[in-house]
Structure formats: C-alpha cells, structure tokens
Structure 1
Amino acid sequence: MSEQKMTQDIEMNVTDHLSELRKRVIWTLVFFIAFFIAGFLYVEQIQAFFIKDLPFELNMTSPGEIIWIIFTIASLVAIIGTLPILSLQLWLFIKPALTPKERRVSLSYIPAIFLLFLGGLTFGYVVFVQLILPFLLSLNNGMFNEIYTVERYFRFLFRVTIPFAVLFEIPIIIMFLTSLGIVNPVFLVKVRKYAYFILIIIGTIISPPDFILQLVVAVPLIILYEVSIILSKVVYRKKLENHRAFMETDDENDTSV
C-alpha cells in the first residue's frame, strides 16, 4: 500500500511540474506574440532607423523580400522583448527548489541577461555601421555598378549583430556554470588559450577579411572572457565561503550533541 502511495505521489509531482512548465511556456508565448505584433506595427520606423544613414539605396528583386524583412524585424523585436520574460518564467519554475539566498542571486541575473543582450546588439551595430560597412564599400572603388537589395543587406546586418548579442552573454553563462560547480576559475584559466583561439575564429567569421577589423571584433570578445574569469572567481570564492560556513556550523552541532 505504501509503495502504491509513493508511486501516486511521484506521478502527482511529475504532473504538477509539467502543469507548471506548461503555464510558464504559455505565458512566454503570450508575451512573444504581443511583442511580435508590436514589432509588426512599428516595422517601418525600425526599418527606417537601420537604413537612415546608408550611403546607398536599397532595392527589391522580388515581392517576397519585403515579407521576409517584416517578419524578421518583428521576430527580432519579439525575441528581445521576450528575453527577460523567458528568464523570469524559468526562474519562477525553478524557484521552489532554491534557497532564499539562491533566489535573490539568481533573480539578479535576469536584468543582466537583458542588458548584456542589448549591449551586444548595440556594439555589433556600431561595429557594422562604423567599420565593416565602410570597409566593404571602399573595396569597390567605382569598379562596378552597385545594387544593394533589402534582403541581403539585412541578412548581413543580422549576421554581425546577433552573434555579438549572444556572445555578450558569456559572463552570465560562466557565472551560472560556476555556481553549479560545472566550471571554476582554475579551469577557465587553464583553457584560456583555447578560448582565445575560438573567439578569434568567431571574430574572423563575423568580420570581413581585414586584420584590423578582425582585431577590433576579437579584442572585445577576449575582454569578455577575461571579465568572465573575474566574475567566476567572485562566485567561486563566495561558494567556498558558504561551504566553509556550513561545515563549521555542522561541526559545532556535532560537538554540542
């Protein structure tokens, strides 16, 4: 009878968790759709911002291009707007399993995730507009007639900016993995040269084949990795202090008994 009751309790717990997860997913989808609609309504203003300072005109080669750019911009707005909501829903889902201190610490990650994502997008856009695009335009030097299409321009723009937005999350990811015990500062320092190599490859992929531009792109990524090591040391130190305090409290309890 007890085994049957245990089985029923486990099934109820699984059902409760699935129900809670479904609720969190539904809330996230609701906000995603809402932000998508907002991006759809303001797509002309957003598109005008991206092309206002271009030294050339954009052309269309097919009606499908305008549909693609509308849905792409609306989706990007939805992703940016939903990111803090998604982070909050994940936090609410795992909240019951966290201690009060872990709740406070993990909750502070949510605005950091959002701000770093925006920072990465902004940095990528500035690098694209101020460095990459002028460099590519200078290569032609009047040799050929230039025809720039809407789809190809925005594809290239997003190819540069979105990776930066994702890579700027490295410090938060490292802090989270350190708090889980998956990585530690010693490991990060040990694999530093391999991390540099990977980041330089990423910078080479994102930027045009020019050493200066590749350096401009790669250096901020390397700085982000170094900042991640510093933050990992802070998290790891606090983790050790908490563990030491817990062990001392446990020893005192054993002694009193």
Structure 2
Amino acid sequence: MTAEVPDDEQRPLISHLLELRMRLLRGLWGFGLVLLLLLPFANRLYAWLAQPLLAKLPKGGQLIATQVAAPFFTPMKLALVTALMLAMPWLLYQLWAFVAPGLYRREKRLALPLLVSALLLFYAGCAFAYFLVLPTVFGFLARITPEGVAMMTDISAYLDFVLVLFLAFGLAFELPVALVILALLGWVTPDQLREGRGYAIVGIFIIAAVVTPPDVISQLLLAIPMCLLYEAGILAARILAPAGGQRDDLA
C-alpha cells in the first residue's frame, strides 16, 4: 500500500512548478520578440560585424560564401545570437524572480550586484573584442598575408571565429566575479589570491595563448586585461568576503 502525499505538501511543489513554467514562458516570449524584431535586420547586423575585417582588406576585398545556403543561414545565426545577448537581462530577471524568494536577505544583497556585474562585464568583454581586438588581429593577419594571396574569408567561418572571440573575452572579463564568488564561498581568501598572483599570471598567459589567434598582439590584448581584472577581483573580494562569511537567519 503506497503512502499518499498530503495535499498541503503537494501544493507548494505544484505552485513552484507553475511559477517556473510561467517564468520560462515569459523568458521565451521575450527572447522570441527580440529575435522577431532583429530578423529583418540580419544582413545589416552581419555587415556591421564584418566591418573590422573589411576595413583591413585591400581595396575591393570582400567576404565569400562557399556554401549554397550560407548567405541566408549565416545572418540568421547572427540574429539568433544577438537576440540571445540582448534578451539576456530579461532572461536573468526571470531567473532572479524565481529564485530570489528562497534566498536570505544577505544573499539577495550580494547576489543581485554580482549578477548585474557579471552581465555588464560580459558585454564589456564583447565590446573590447569588437572595437580593439578584432581590428588589431585582422590588421596583423592582413600584413602577414603572402604576396599574391587574396585574403577572402568565408562568411560562416568568419562568424564562428568572431563568436568564439566574443565568448572568450566575455568569459575572461568575468574573472572578478568568479574570484568574489570563490571568496564568498570560503574556498579562497583575498590573501591567498594575492599570494598566488604569480601562478595566476602564468595561467592567464597560457589561457590567452590557447583561446586567441597565434599572434603575440592578440594574446597580450587578452592577458593584460585579465591580469588587471584579477587585481580588481582581489580588491572586490577583500571588500565583500568578510561580510559574505556571515549568514542571516531571516529570509
């Protein structure tokens, strides 16, 4: 004979599931609306994204499409990724609205600024990659292209290359938030972060060498900001970690 779960214990679970469904639907509706608004401008978005490369190509240089459907699907892919990035604040708000009632007051005070900071830092990393890294990298590649070789990049390969750089720099700029979270969890202390600075710098340069194109300039453009962000993370952890070690008993 199976024991039945009382109705008063089922209601909280059902209400949480209903709220989760509502938040997911709202997030998807918001994302779908942004995507719908961007689709008519997909080609313009790609033309804007291609500017760092086109500006460094010789006069008359252009991108090419080596696949039949690439001129259609590649701008659509860019519109999809752009819509996701633009809708991310709305998606994160839906996530926050769902989990916030279960957090302690001190956790709310710390989690919300960290969430906003992480989002802004990711955007800053993407902007840094577009306005500084891409022109520098493409300028270097254009200069070292052998004479008699036309630098004509496939539009799909170019988009994948740029998106990987955006992701790499966006995640790299999350370093201060990651350090603060580690300090708040008690896994490291600000003093340990300061003492391990040398190892961190070596690790940063190794990561920069792996995720960036094989030239010294782009590696430095990632490694130097990460070193500065590491120092910012130590400072932020020193400010926030002592308060994060205490926990309120009231929700």
TM-score category by the smaller chain? 0.7 to 0.9
* Deviation readout 1:208-227 (Å, 9 max, x if unpaired): 32334322321111211221
- Identify which of structures 1 and 2 has the higher relative contact order when contacts are C-alpha pairs closer than 8 Å and 6+ apart: 2
Work out the CA distance in 2 between the residues paired with 1:201 and 1:40. 38
The answer to whether residue 183 in structure 2 is matched with residue 178 in structure 1 is: yes
Post-superposition offset of 1:124: 1.0
- AA in 1 matched with 2:123: L
- Residue 122 of structure 1 corresponds to which residue in structure 2? 127
Deviation at 1:121, TM superposition (A): 0.5
Instruction: Identify the range of structure 1 (181-190 vs 157-166) with the bigger mean alpha-carbon deviation.
Output: 181-190
* Counterpart mapping for 1:13-32 below 5 A: 13-32=12-31
- Displacement of 1:175 in angstroms is 2.7
CA RMSD of aligned residues (A): 2.7
TM-score by length of 1: 0.80
TM-score by length of 2: 0.82
Is the contact between residue 38 and residue 74 of structure 1 (CA under 8 Å) also seen in structure 2? no
Match of 2:242 among 237, 246, 256: 237
* 1:87-236 equivalences in 2 (<5 Å): 87-189=92-194, 191-236=196-241
Aligned residues: percent identity?
26
More helix per residue: 1
Shift of 1:132: 0.8
Aligned residues: 241
Contact 2:169/2:222, CA 8 A, preserved across alignment: no
Contact residue 91 and residue 106 of structure 1 kept, 8 A: no
Cα distance in 2 between the residues matched to 1:217 and 1:107: 27
Gaps of 5+ in 2: none
Whether the 8 Å contact between 2:212 and 2:218 is mirrored in structure 1 is yes
Give distance in 2, aligned partners of 1:9 and 1:35. 40
Residue 77 (structure 1) shift: 1.3
User: Aligned equivalents of 1:96 and 1:187: distance in 2?
Assistant: 33
Most deviating of 98-107 and 76-85: 98-107
Distance 1:197 1:122 in 2: 25
Provide the residue aligned with 2:37 in structure 1: 38
